[in-house]
Amino acid sequence: MRGTEDEARAAAEAAARRSYGKLVAFLSARTRDVAAAEDALADAFASALARWPVAGIPDNPEAWLMAAARRKAIDGVRRQRTRVNADPHLKLMAEEASEVIEEGGIPDERLRLMFACAHPAIDPAIRAPLILQTILGFDAARIASAFLVSPSTMGQRLVRAKARIRETGIPFRIPDRPELPERLDAVLAAIYAAFAEGWADPAGTETRRRELAGEAIWLGRLVASLMPNEPEALGLVSLMLFAEARRAARRDTNGGYVPLAEQDVTKWDQTLITEAEGLLLRASAMGRPGRYQIEAAIQSAHVVRRSTGQADWRAIVDLYGVLAAMVPSPVVAVNRAVAVAQAGHAGDALAALDELADDPRLADYQPYWAARAELLARAGKQAEAATAYDRAIGLEPDPSVRAFLQERRMAMKPQTSS
């Protein structure tokens, strides 16, 4: 029995990874009540964990969950509405459920739900977090960490946003072209945030994170296929593919961290790189540059090392300059400083980091301290470099990266007295 319970739990978790957003989107497509759909789906998962160990895991877990959630939703409507007012609504829900059973599949409404979450009636600051929760099942605490707010604040904002969709009747549809730019930005930002979460597992050992990166790429491709004339959609997919192509090279055979400049280029996935280059070329030909296209171009300039043995650091510096003009950010400034150093101007790079020293947003940003430590060490300022390394090591959660930084600190030449 215990093994059966474990198998049932594993099957439910796999279904959630594959289809959580698809199920929520379908369940809420007509009612526009995202919160109710999530509650019904949560009840369906609870029922699955109770029944599957006894009755067996169904051949199509997603269809079972959808049917169970639909029943929960109908029960909820019955409790909340009078019979007269509820009957038409219940009939519609029942008809939809029958259609799905007859067709043998669940229509994928995720893209429409994503654009509903990005509607102008929704606070711009909550659009990307709302997409992350409704489509990919992120909890409020996880989203709050990514967006630098408290979990309670994020939870309240998400609840209000879902209520807004229900109360205002926001339609689940891909917007017309005049409405598209503002909403597309939020959709792409959410997809990229999901990819970044999956990318945070460098070795690819955490199934949930690895699949999350793949899901983000899938969603990006879906947006790009439905909007082939939107260069930023193409640029985002290109950017994600360039990054994913390097996954196998991010760790050595012992699991140790390998920085980009030292990665074995033979481990980079040429198929993904070729696809990324093609998408970037298509986007660039449209003549409407944007953030994701520039970031993808930076990755392309790194990939040049595969054929020439050296990244195009001059181009990378210039591209970071363009990106900084588009997206003023201390993080972009740090990355540009690192590129300046790699291009052979370590003194200028350290001066650029010095100019950022008072920015409070970098106080706990590990890459700033790691870059500063490296450049101070090159300049022979070992005491200051050691302090910066200690700061970077203390801020780094990944044990492999921490070990790498500790090795760099230990490798500094002793400072000689005059």
CA dist 369 → 338, 378, 387, 388 (Å): 11, 14, 9, 5
Structural element, H or E, at residue 340:
helix 330-342
Q: Report yes or no on 208 lying in a domain.
A: no
Find out whether 369 and 395 touch, Cβ atoms under 8 Å: yes
pLDDT tens across 173-216, in order? 777 777 777 788 888 988 898 888 778 765 545 555 666 788 78
Lowest mean pLDDT across 31-40, 75-84, 258-267, 272-281: 75-84
Q: How far is CA 414 from the centre of its chain?
A: 42
In a domain, 263, yes or no: no
The tens digit of pLDDT for each residue in 322-370 reads: 999 998 889 999 999 999 999 999 999 999 999 999 999 899 999 999 9
The backbone torsions φ and ψ at residue 181, rounded to the nearest 5 degrees and listed phi first, read: -55, -50
CA angle centred on 279, ends 274 and 283, rounded to 5° = 150
Tally the domains of the chain: 2
Residue among 47, 35, 51, 105 nearest 71 (CA): 47
Q: How confident is the model at residue 84 (pLDDT cuts 50, 70, 90)?
A: very low
Domain-located, residue 118: no
Residue that is last in its domain, among 59, 87, 108: 108
User: Coil, strand or helix: which one is 178?
Assistant: helix
Q: Give the span between the Cα atoms of 351 and 371, in whole angstroms.
A: 12
Final residue belonging to a domain, choices 57, 79, 108: 108
Mean pLDDT along residues 383-391: 95
Q: What are the distances in angstroms from CA 237 to CA 262, 279, 304?
A: 25, 8, 19
Nearest Cα to Cα of residue 244 among 221, 217, 208: 217
Q: What is the CATH number of the domain that holds 340?
A: 1.25.40.10
Residue 298 has what pLDDT?
98
Instruction: Tell whether the model's pLDDT for residue 85 goes beyond 60.
Output: no
Q: Which residues contact 334 (CB under 8 A, 6 or more apart)?
A: 353, 356, 362, 365, 367, 368, 371
Domain end residue (candidates: 108, 133, 155): 108
In a domain, 54, yes or no: yes
Is residue 403 domain-resident? yes
What residues have CB less than 8 Å from 11, skipping those under 6 apart? 48, 52, 57, 61
Q: Does the residue 177 lie in any domain? A: no
Digit-coded pLDDT (tens) for 281-338: 999 999 999 999 999 999 999 999 998 999 999 999 999 999 999 988 899 999 999 9
Instruction: State both tokens at 287.
Output: 């003549």
Residue 228 has pLDDT above 50, yes or no: yes
**pLDDT > 50? residue 92:** no
Residue 256, helix vs strand vs coil: coil
Asked if 375 and 346 touch (Cβ cutoff 8 Å), the reply is yes
Q: What is the per-residue pLDDT for 203?
A: 52
Q: Is residue 269 part of a domain?
A: no
Angle between helices 2-28 and 207-226 (to 10 degrees): 20
42-50 average pLDDT score: 90
What's the domain range around 408?
Answer: 330-418
In a domain, 254, yes or no: no
CA–CA gap between residue 335 and residue 324 (Å, rounded): 10
